[in-house]
Amino acid sequence: MDLRESLNWRYAVKKYGKEKVADADLQEIIEAIGLSASSAGMQPYRIFVVKDTNLRKELGEGSFNPQITEASDLLVFAAVDRIDQAFIDNYIGYTAEIRGIAAAQLAEFKKSLQLHLLGRTPEENFTWAARQAYIALGTGIIAAAALKVDATPMEGFDNEKFDRLLGLSEKGLRSVVLLALGYRDEANDFYAKFKKVRLPKEELVTII
Ligand SMILES: Cc1cc2nc3c(=O)[nH]c(=O)nc-3n(C[C@H](O)[C@H](O)[C@H](O)COP(=O)(O)O)c2cc1C
């Protein structure tokens, strides 16, 4: 199946069947998410794979998205809520280690990160971090489609409740978006047969 076919095949599933996603496929999707591009490469977000079924039930209670509880798997994308000197130092140290160079060689890069990130308000940095998490979400959606695993991106959830139940605040994180994974229950999903609604290319794209 080529990429475009996969993207046409996918839709934001509302009703999942009971079939579980194989662990190898789940790992492949997580690998792809990990390979996402991010601003300055900093990946200022973390992914939580919620396995605990009781917790899934509690997280889904009161939400209009039954997928939170019913899908095979649930990924929570949580953005870093405070970028500080330590976060930058860790990233520089890690980059130096991976590339086998001295951290001092990254001094200019570090300076520019400090200038840009530490000069902004915590909320501005959180917004930036959340944007990076959405890019990772997009990668996850595409990776799932390529594997013929169904997926639903979701903003319809109680962020504060997720932060509390997953202990995100203590980790300096805030939940921003979810990705449910599983297999569509085609017979019971009203949306399964809908045609995709997308803008005509002429409206979406301007060639200058
Ligand atoms: C950031 C984001 C948040 C979304 N939130 C929800 C949601 O809470 N519940 C839901 O069922 N679908 C949600 N969707 C799915 C969109 O409604 C869906 O992607 C859009 O209507 C296009 O249709 P398609 O993805 O099925 O082709 C969300 C999509 C995105 C990208």
Query: How is residue 126 written in tokens?
Result: 């959180």
Query: Distance (Å, rounded) from C-alpha 93 to C-alpha 91?
Result: 5
CATH superfamily label, 3-83+120-204: NADH Oxidase (3.40.109.10)
Across 174-179, average pLDDT? 98
Residue 12 Cα to ligand 1 middle (Å): 6
* Percent residues over pLDDT 90 in the chain: 100
* pLDDT tens digit sequence for 62-73: 999 999 999 999
Across 152-180, average pLDDT? 98
- Sorted by where each begins, the domain ranges of the chain are 3-83+120-204
Across 12-22, average pLDDT? 98
Average pLDDT of every residue of the chain: 97
Entry field: residues in the chain: 208
Return the residue matching tokens 């959830």: 157
| Ligand 1 atom closest to the CA of 156, numbered from 1 | 8
Residue with CA at minimum distance from ligand 1 atom 4? 154
Residue 110 Cα to ligand 1 middle (Å): 37
Query: Distance (Å, rounded) from C-alpha 156 to C-alpha 163?
Result: 14
Res. 1: pLDDT tops 60: no
Residue 156 Cα to ligand 1 middle (Å): 9
* pLDDT tens digit sequence for 89-128: 999 999 999 999 999 999 999 999 999 999 999 999 999 9
User: How sure is the predictor about 181, in pLDDT bands with cuts at 50, 70 and 90?
Assistant: very high
Rg from Cα positions in the chain: 19
CA 35 to chain centre: 12
Q: How far apart are the first and last CA of the chain?
A: 33
User: How sure is the predictor about 143, in pLDDT bands with cuts at 50, 70 and 90?
Assistant: very high
Give the start-end residues of each E strand in 35-193. 45-49, 73-80, 150-154, 173-182
| Ligand 1 atom closest to the CA of 134, numbered from 1 | 1
Query: Distance (Å, rounded) from C-alpha 72 to C-alpha 10?
Result: 16
Asked if residue 152 has its Cβ within 6 Å of ligand 1, the reply is yes
